[in-house]
Structure 1
Amino acid sequence: MADDAPPINLTNHFLIAMPGMEDGTFSRSVVYVCDHSERGALGLIINKPGDINLADLFDKVDLPLQRADLGVLPVFHGGPLQMERGFVLHDPIVVEGLQPDESVYASTLSVPGGLEMTTSKDVLEAMSSGAGPRRVLVTLGYSSWAEGQLESEIARNSWLTVDADINLIFEAPIDQRYDLALSLLGLQTWMLSPEAGHA
């Protein structure tokens, strides 16, 4: 029986929107899943830049930005929820004396096998002073699915899933991230039908 199947855990995976996904937020999106459990899932879209960059964001929160490498980075549209709130996806910060699940920041979710997602302002303050994580992706808003919702969308062929490639998040050209995420599965866009294929 299907009910006996072990629950899937897509933490530290990419969700890749299928061509039939017409929702404006999620069309051609790649979502990094930060947390997935029986209670639901939470993730950030990594390939939809907004209309401001980090220099603009730091101006809005009255912080100087001492790191020129970050100022030109776009602030991404992370999803349709809490779009006024910032989320910082970053490399794990390793500090001697801290346990693996502890963070130097006040509010950080450590993604097993992957990155950290911080929502507290102290990460911005660290970046402002020239410190902070080496690589960051900042979003306004996030994406969330209720219990069983993501599993049901996957069953309806709304999403493809693949283990996340962290370098794709930080290094790949933004306009190529969708195609590069598909290539992790050995696929190209032309191979996918916009129709959900049920035999």
Structure 2
Amino acid sequence: MDFFDHTDIPAPEKGVLLISDPFLPDSNFERSVVLLCEHNAEGSLGFVLNKQSNLLLSDMMADFEEAENQVFIGGPVEQNTLHFIHKIPDLEGSICIQENLYWGGDFEHLKTLVSNQLVPASDIRFFIGYSGWSEGQLQREIEANGWIVHNRVRSNLVFDSSPEELWKVALQDMGGRFKMFSNYPADPRLN
């Protein structure tokens, strides 16, 4: 087996993290960690967890004047849309990704919860745009060693890790040879 061969990794499914290979040649996803929120026969959708924009939610939404949440770049698709993941189990209309991790929901209900300080800002992450793959595209990228699939995701890994360290932390969390990947330099020429 090649050191960087990831084909023994489980297939993608809703709730896994996709960790970009150290050699992924796509600048949109260099050293990215993507939370996969949807994966079915039609395709896949997720959000890059570790690419911050220079915007706060309060910069984008007048209804969130006090919200100091950093907005993340969820991916290169439809960057004129706003999405969110959270740890609010009773938010109406949300989709359970896995235990203590949800996607979307009733935005008006969310605004009420936030404005009444019923949920901490740290329990919500906002994204402009998303990452999307057409039917079979993600599986082909995994088979070509573009992505490493981490299937033991916990919400604290998603919400509590600093964006700058998440790629490294997620690989270390997988253990084994992936722990060694985490120390691979972004530019091997500088090693």
TM-score bracket relative to the smaller structure: 0.7 to 0.9
Alignment-derived partner of residue 40 in structure 1:
43
Instruction: Select 1:168's aligned residue among 153, 157, 161.
Output: 157
Alignment-derived partner of residue 129 in structure 1:
115
Alignment-derived partner of residue 141 in structure 2:
153
Is the CA contact 1:90–1:133 (under 8 Å) kept in the aligned structure 2?
A: no
Distance 1:121 1:25 in 2: 28
Q: CA deviation at 1:127?
A: 4.6
Is the CA contact 2:79–2:130 (under 8 Å) kept in the aligned structure 1?
A: yes
- Identity across the alignment (%): 27
Unaligned stretches of 5+ in structure 1?
A: 1-6, 95-102
- Give the residue type in structure 1 aligned to 2:136: G
Q: CA deviation at 1:121?
A: 3.3
- Give the residue type in structure 2 aligned to 1:12: G
Unaligned stretches of 5+ in structure 2?
A: 1-9
141 and 178 in structure 1: CA distance in 2 versus 1, 3 angstrom threshold: same
Alignment-derived partner of residue 50 in structure 1:
53
Distance 1:133 1:140 in 2: 21
Deviations 1:50-71 (A, max 9, x none): 010122123xxx21445xxxx3
- Give the residue type in structure 2 aligned to 1:91: K
Deviations 1:10-37 (A, max 9, x none): 2111000011112121010000011112
1:26 aligns to 2:29 (yes or no): yes
Alignment-derived partner of residue 79 in structure 1:
75
- Give the residue type in structure 1 aligned to 2:31: R
Distance 1:51 1:123 in 2: 26
Instruction: Using structure 2 for the length normalisation, give the TM-score.
Output: 0.79
RMSD: 2.6
Q: Secondary structure at the match of 1:181?
A: helix
Is the CA contact 1:9–1:36 (under 8 Å) kept in the aligned structure 2?
A: yes
Distance 1:131 1:93 in 2: 16
Instruction: Using structure 1 for the length normalisation, give the TM-score.
Output: 0.76
Is the CA contact 1:33–1:41 (under 8 Å) kept in the aligned structure 2?
A: yes
- Give the residue type in structure 1 aligned to 2:147: W
Distance 2:118 2:50 in 1: 23
Is the CA contact 1:54–1:75 (under 8 Å) kept in the aligned structure 2?
A: yes
Is the CA contact 2:85–2:104 (under 8 Å) kept in the aligned structure 1?
A: yes
Alignment-derived partner of residue 100 in structure 1:
none
193 and 54 in structure 1: CA distance in 2 versus 1, 3 angstrom threshold: closer
1:88 aligns to 2:84 (yes or no): yes
- Give the residue type in structure 1 aligned to 2:108: D
Instruction: Select 1:190's aligned residue among 180, 183, 186.
Output: 183
Alignment-derived partner of residue 109 in structure 1:
95
